[in-house]
Structure 1
Amino acid sequence: MRRLLILPLVAFALVACEREDREYRSEPVVDETEEKIALVPLSPGPGSPIEQRSGVGKEYEENAFHISQGQRLYTWFNCNGCHSNGGGGSGPALMDDRWIYGGQIENIVQTIREGRPNGMPSFRGKIPDDQIWEIAAYIRSMGRNVPKAAAPSRKDDMSPGPAEQRRPPGEVIQGGQASPSEEMPQ
């Protein structure tokens, strides 16, 4: 009798479970989203430029898996060579709030896909569309423009010292005593 009660509960629990849907293989390069992005607020006529954003970017920006894949692809495609881990080098910095061609994810995708004059090559037809979106989502995460729950953790290999969990415990400062940073001359 007890088994008869447990069996429907187990079946119900299995049916109620919902798993995250992940695509492990990229779509062919010929597939890409249609975005109409204005790079400047100027347009002929009385109105502002017409933009059509597909809304695909939100799906990538809020998914930790896509952002971590973008982090991996950023390294694989040697974006570090010009952008130096996001801090800028021969290419512009990606961590700040200054964006020449717009800092929204659709603008970043357009920049990667089409390239920009004087340096940024076009990757249209060389990188599948979903991978371009993942790289763009990771770039947005560099400037802390994605939800905190989806943002990737920092890379400890860039830190000059060992990770926090590998460091010896620090001294406990009792209340009323000055911390070492407060004792330093200003």
Structure 2
Amino acid sequence: MKSVFLLCLVVVLAACQREERDFTKRKESEPPDTVSVSPLHPGNPPITTLEESKYEQSAYDVAEGKRLYQWFNCTGCHFNGGGGIGPALMDDKWIYGSSIENIVKTIKEGRPNGMPSFGGLIPEKETWQLAAYVRALGGFVAKDVAPSRNDDLSASPAENRLPSPKPYNGKAP
């Protein structure tokens, strides 16, 4: 029994040849090694067109951007614009430029080491509205366009939410 097993083992080992590959040659179908260079560069402000700048001139679009900023949980990284995990949006230090086009590009394509890409997830108009609100956080839009503070950040409730005072009839209590 042992001899039959050894004989089979010798036949199997004799039949096996090690495959030889030349790892230095590239197949014709394989593309050459290339380094992908990102077109993202810090602070390349393109020229703003009238169509694109209309979003930061409209109080409605900036207010919608504020709603979307909270809805898409941008506050998770940028908090309320003061920064946290993500960079602050209320200061004048912008790595990739503070123009609305650069902000839209950041939202769509993301940035290395942190900002994810939302290009296929957020519709075009909403992306521009978000960018307009981010510009409002940085103080780059007109004051009559910028949204006001949230009611939950105020020290007291809004006047329309206070209880109605009792009418004064002119007599001392």
Q: TM-score range, shorter-chain basis?
A: 0.5 to 0.7
SS of the residue corresponding to residue 82 of structure 1 reads helix
Pairing 1:118–2:113 present = yes
Partner deviation per Cα, 1:48-104 (whole Å, 9 max, x = no partner): x89454443310000011001000000110000000010101000001110000011
Correspondence for 1:144 among 139, 143, 149: 139
Correspondence for 2:41 among 39, 48, 72: 39
Equivalent position of 2:156 in the other structure:
162
Correspondence for 2:67 among 72, 75, 79: 72
Equivalent position of 1:23 in the other structure:
none
Query: Root-mean-square deviation (CA), in Å?
Result: 2.2
Whichever residue aligns with residue 94 of structure 1, its letter is L
Contact 2:45 2:97 in 1 (8 A): no
Whichever residue aligns with residue 95 of structure 1, its letter is M
Pairing 1:135–2:137 present = no
Whole-Å Cα distance in 1 between the matches of residues 45 and 129 of structure 2? 25
Whole-Å Cα distance in 2 between the matches of residues 38 and 124 of structure 1? 15
Q: How has the CA–CA distance of structure 1 residues 87 and 50 changed in structure 2, closer, same or farther, with 3 Å as cutoff? A: closer
Whichever residue aligns with residue 89 of structure 2, its letter is L
Partner deviation per Cα, 1:114-144 (whole Å, 9 max, x = no partner): 0001110001111001100000000111122
SS of the residue corresponding to residue 121 of structure 1 reads coil
Question: Unmatched 5+ residue regions in structure 2?
Answer: 1-38, 163-173
Whole-Å Cα distance in 2 between the matches of residues 107 and 141 of structure 1? 14
Whole-Å Cα distance in 1 between the matches of residues 148 and 45 of structure 2? 37
Whole-Å Cα distance in 1 between the matches of residues 42 and 71 of structure 2? 31
Whole-Å Cα distance in 1 between the matches of residues 117 and 150 of structure 2? 28
Correspondence for 1:102 among 97, 105, 110: 97
Whichever residue aligns with residue 162 of structure 1, its letter is S
Correspondence for 2:53 among 58, 76, 80: 58
SS of the residue corresponding to residue 114 of structure 2 reads coil
Aligned-residue offset at 1:147: 1.2
Whichever residue aligns with residue 153 of structure 1, its letter is S
What TM-score comes out, normalization by structure 2 length?
A: 0.64
SS of the residue corresponding to residue 54 of structure 2 reads helix
Higher Rg:
2
Identity %: 53
Q: How has the CA–CA distance of structure 1 residues 91 and 50 changed in structure 2, closer, same or farther, with 3 Å as cutoff? A: closer
Whole-Å Cα distance in 2 between the matches of residues 98 and 50 of structure 1? 14
Contact 1:39 1:102 in 2 (8 A): no
Aligned-residue offset at 1:38: 7.3
Q: How many residues align?
A: 122
